[in-house]
Amino acid sequence: MLLDIPLAGLGWSLPCDIWSVGCILVELCSGEALFQTHENLEHLAMMERVLGPVPEHMIRKASSSAQKYFRRGTRLNWPEGAVTRESIRAVRKLHRLKDLVARNADHSKASLADLLYGLLRFEPSERLTAQEALDHPFFRIPGPT
């Protein structure tokens, strides 16, 4: 998870727990862990594949040791920096979040995708709070009867 590991040098904060909840909800929806890797650059590439690019302002704020994962401080060094071809394949097989939800959810797909995007925002200050997540329309939509 980008923001609770030293990778970005941005430190841990409470919104990291919200990020984790988002990852767990995706796992409950799909039956698989969202980001199955232990390699930092591959992890970032997976995050970009599923959620879109890491915001430039966050890249610029990253620690100097994390800059090795980015080109010219604005773009992830992927796939050029990949360690193996398997790593590239692992990233390419991932789907965008909305597509992942569409493939795996039975109902309330748009609402679930909206909730997950709110939980999985790169910028911690833009993520839903726990209360906002609980108040999200996804939890008020009746399931199938």
pTM for the full model?
A: 0.85
Strand partners, 70: 76
What pLDDT is recorded for position 1?
40
- Provide the pLDDT confidence category of residue 65 given band limits of 50, 70 and 90: confident
Share of the chain above pLDDT 70, in %: 87
State the Cα–Cα distance between residues 129 and 17, nearest whole angstrom: 10
Q: Which long-range contacts (CB under 8 A, 24 or more apart) does 51-59 make?
A: 51/97, 51/117, 51/120, 51/122, 54/2, 54/122, 55/122, 55/123, 58/8, 58/10, 58/122, 58/123
State the Cα–Cα distance between residues 66 and 41, nearest whole angstrom: 10
Q: Which domains are seen in the chain, by residue range?
A: 14-139 (1.10.510.10)
Give the E-state strand segments of the chain in sequence order.
Answer: 70-71, 75-76
> In which region does residue 62 sit, left (phi positive, over 0), alpha (psi from -120 to 50) or beta (all else)?
beta
Taking each helix axis as running N to C, give the angle between helix 97-104 and helix 15-30, from 0 to 180 degrees, rounded to the nearest 10.
Answer: 40
Give the model confidence (pLDDT) of 14-62 as tens digits. Answer: 678 999 999 999 999 999 999 999 899 999 999 999 999 999 988 888 8
State the Cα–Cα distance between residues 101 and 82, nearest whole angstrom: 27
Q: Which residues contact 143 (CB under 8 A, 6 or more apart)?
A: 107, 108
Average pLDDT rounded to a whole number, residues 119-140: 94
State the Cα–Cα distance between residues 55 and 127, nearest whole angstrom: 14
